Structure 1
């Protein structure tokens, strides 16, 4: 398959690419580098990316920016960034990319466990994740020539270690990548795939 991987330079993105590239053609898309550059916060940038890349069998997004901060510390910019990038950026991959997906292909987006298991500091991220999961469930009812799903990772061990957190409750990036592999190669449609379920 020809697969466009948005956010390939991130911790999860790198693991997904490593798992895919042995058997598939992977086109990496990132904000600052990769085979093609894309700014998820810009619909025009997303349009340009698809024009450059052309038709693909699958799109995977492991990208999306949202702030982690206490409720009283969140600013207007924090909310707008999460809405424009993490949420609408990924929604626009479907809206603007749907005509570039080959028949029977798929689009896989990324939410996160904080949609259903929020914690202190996660208000903006939980908002974007929950909205994205609901969007995928609804959009799938009207998309019938390819599949659309969303993967919900838990905290990634590598990121937790970098932040000085206890990594026991986390999942490695490589194990997280298994949910994305299942989304691309499976038959599910309109589903939220919880990463721990695919170990």
Structure 2
């Protein structure tokens, strides 16, 4: 299969690419690094990306920033970080790429454990991750031509503990390599509208 991984240079993206490259042609896309570059928050940029790449069999998105901070101090601009970047960035990918994915192809998006387990200062991430799950469930019954869409929802990655561990006290981290297996399950499987939870 020809698989596009958007966010390929990130911690999770690198692990997903390594997993999928064992069996498939992987096109690595990033904001500034990779085979192609894209600003996923800008729909015309995503449309140009897939116009340039052409037909593909699967699209994986491992992108998205969110804002961590106390809700009582949060501004609308800070809350928009997650809505614009992680939520609409991934939705833009599906909006643009649906016209370039071959019949029976798939999308795999990235959410996170905070949809199920809210933490202090994580309200932006909880909102965005939960919205992404709703988008996947809704899109799964509307995508044409047998296109599939799933979401991987990992807990905190072992590789991210140093940066974010203080927010996730009591959570058992998982390796990016383990999380990447769920992306493989989505890309190479047959299910749609599924949320693959990795860790707890």
TM-score where L is the length of structure 2: 0.93
The match for 1:154 is 155
CA contact (8 A) 1:57 1:106 kept: yes
- In structure 1, what is the equivalent of residue 192 of structure 2? 189
Q: Which residue of 2 aligns with 1:38?
A: 38
Q: How does 1:91-106 map to 2 (within 5 A)?
A: 91-106=91-106
* Unaligned residue ranges in structure 2 (runs of 5+): none
Report the 3-state secondary structure (helix = DSSP H, G, I; strand = E; otherwise coil) of the residue aligned with 2:199. helix
Matches within 5 A, 1:3-82: 3-82=3-82
How many residue pairs match? The answer is 197
Moved over 3 A (4+): 161-168
User: 1:64-93 CA deviation, whole Å, 9 max, x = no partner?
Assistant: 111111112322222222111111111111
CA deviation after TM superposition for structure 1 residue 163, in Å? 4.5
Relative to structure 1, the CA distance from residue 163 to residue 150 in structure 2 (aligned partners, 3 Å threshold; closer, same or farther) is closer
Shift of the alpha carbon at 1:167? 9.0
Q: Deviations over 1:92-123 (max 9, x none)?
A: 11111101000111000011110111100110
Deviates more, 1:17-26 or 1:160-169: 160-169
Structure 1 unaligned segments of length 5 or more: list them: none
